[in-house]
Structure 1
Amino acid sequence: MARIGFLGLGIMGRAMAANLIKAGFEVTVWNRSAEKCAPLVAQGAKQGATPREVAASCDFTIAMLADPAAARETVFGAEGVLAGIGEGRGYIDMSTVDDATAREIAAAIAGHGGRFLEAPVSGTKKPAEEGTLVILAAGDESLYEEAGAAFDKLGKKRVFLGEVGQGARMKLVVNMIMGSMMVALSEGLALGLKGNLDGAQILDVIEAGAMACPMFKGKGPMLLQDDATTSFPLKHMQKDLRLALALSEELGQSLQAASAANEVFKRANIAGHGDDDIAAVYRVVK
């Protein structure tokens, strides 16, 4: 089995790395806060001291990081991936970043003799734990094939989208729609409750019709119960909306609903809900 590095052990990363360990892969983990490695080491992982060390010792290394800044630092830092890549080893960035960041990292990895694949995922904490993510890959197709067995332990579906940047674009489109839907659900429930409708009945009616979807089924009760237990941090959704709007500027596409949704998420972030779940957007809507 492949020797796999895993960088970034946040809500998503630690669940994903755990699934690879359970599947029998030899996994070496690293996290900026080193103490987060301990539970995975207890499950059988090795611990790397730096991204450079991990990349140099593994067949391919996966990163699951918070944002473009973290993605760049992990690659370009003094003890970053770039210093350890080479000899055909692979680097797979599963973080949600903009397409320009993905292309910048891809060029640097290739320039040092490595192979690069972007593979952002659609899904939050529970799908990460269950291994039912949707993996949106683009870049080096040989690395995509080599990582296939690992991807199949992380997700229920994987697609190859071609050249680097297309994975990032697909992920931003998906999350832009998700963010807009969360605002719409929040506004619908807020309006209905003020109109003396029963919140559970609103959700039942939605579930019975054309708008039924797993997200509404999962998040709807959280809104009604004021439960913002984090599976997808609100600040990360706002970041993704911001990146989608930047892409719209680049491509000349108007995004009126997404622009409005971004302002709602921005208000929630400013109000101190950034580390709460995206369900906390309801707190500023109502």
Structure 2
Amino acid sequence: MTKFGFLGLGIMGSAMAANLVRAGFEVVVWNRNPEKCAPLVALGARQADSPRQVVEQCGVTFAMLADPAAAEAVCFAGGGVLEGLPPGHGYVDMSTVDAETSQKIGAAVLARGGRFLEAPVSGSKKPAEEGTLLILAAGDAGLFEEARPALDKMGKQSFYLGELGNGAQMKLVVNMVMGGMMAIFAEALALAEKGGLDPRQLLEVLAGGALANPMFKGKGSAMLAGDFTVNFPLKHMQKDLRLALRLGDEVAQPLFAAATANEAFKKARSLGLGEEDFSALFRAVKAD
């Protein structure tokens, strides 16, 4: 059985790595803040002191990092992945980054004799804990198949999307839709309240028709109760919208609605809501 490495134990990564350990895989973990490794070690994982040590010990390593800068740092910095990458090692970056960053990391891994797969995920904390993420993979098809036993424990469905960069782009498009939906949903709840309607009845109306969806169902009541427990940080949503808009610039695709949603999330960040759940956009909308 392949020994798996896992780099990055934030909200998503810790849950994903835990599912691998619980499935019986041998897992070596690393996180920039070493204290976050403790719960995984308690489950049975082994802790390494650097990304280099992880890839030196494992056949396939997964990374789940916060943004393009973090993804590049773990790969290129001293003590990073490239310093210890053995020939043939499989590196699977599950971070949400732009296609350019993914291709840069992939090229560096290939130049060192490794194999590379991008595999960003669609889903937040609860799906990560439940192992029901959607995995959007692209790049080395052989590595995709080799990693499937682990991917199947982290997600309910894995898509292979072809050439490197397609996975990153698909994730940005998906999150652009999610950000836009949250923006109009927050405005609808605020409008219902200020217009004298019962916003809970709005939730019932939405749930009973064509607009019913898991995000509205899961977030609506919590938003009205002022519960913004973090499943997906607002600052990361704004980062993904920003990257999607950059992609739109690159391919000359107008993105009017996405640009407006991005401005709403930027306003929320300026109000100090970046570390809260992305549904805390409702607080910013109500403040106007």
The separation in 2 between residues aligned to 1:79 and 1:103, in whole angstroms, is 21
Deviation digits for residues 14-69 of structure 1 (CA, Å, limit 9, x no counterpart): 00000000000000000000010011101100001100110111011000000000
What is the match of residue 217 of structure 1? 217
How do 1:4-153 and structure 2 match up within 5 A?
A: 4-153=4-153
Where does structure 1 lack aligned partners over 5 or more consecutive residues? none
The separation in 2 between residues aligned to 1:86 and 1:139, in whole angstroms, is 19
For the residue of structure 2 that corresponds to 1:163, the secondary structure is coil
What is the match of residue 181 of structure 1? 181
TM-score normalised by length of structure 1: 0.99
Distance apart, 1:226 and its partner CA? 1.3
How do 1:188-199 and structure 2 match up within 5 A?
A: 188-199=188-199
CA RMSD after TM alignment: 0.5
TM-score normalised by length of structure 2: 0.99
What is the match of residue 203 of structure 1? 203
What is the match of residue 254 of structure 1? 254
The sequence identity of aligned pairs, in percent, is: 62
- Runs of 4+ in structure 1 over 2 Å off: none
Distance apart, 1:86 and its partner CA? 2.7
Q: Return 193-202 or 69-78, whichever deviates more.
A: 193-202
**One-letter code of the match for 1:202?**
L
Where does structure 2 lack aligned partners over 5 or more consecutive residues? none
Aligned residues: 286
The separation in 2 between residues aligned to 1:17 and 1:72, in whole angstroms, is 20
How do 1:147-166 and structure 2 match up within 5 A?
A: 147-166=147-166
**One-letter code of the match for 2:62?**
I
**One-letter code of the match for 2:143?**
L
For the residue of structure 2 that corresponds to 1:147, the secondary structure is helix
Q: Return 216-225 or 116-125, whichever deviates more.
A: 216-225
For the residue of structure 2 that corresponds to 1:276, the secondary structure is coil
**One-letter code of the match for 1:129?**
E
The separation in 2 between residues aligned to 1:16 and 1:273, in whole angstroms, is 25
The separation in 2 between residues aligned to 1:230 and 1:45, in whole angstroms, is 25
Is this contact kept in 2: 1:227–1:279, CA < 8 A? no
The separation in 2 between residues aligned to 1:164 and 1:260, in whole angstroms, is 29
Deviation digits for residues 190-223 of structure 1 (CA, Å, limit 9, x no counterpart): 1111111111100000000101000000111122
What is the match of residue 168 of structure 2? 168
The separation in 1 between residues aligned to 2:33 and 2:226, in whole angstroms, is 30
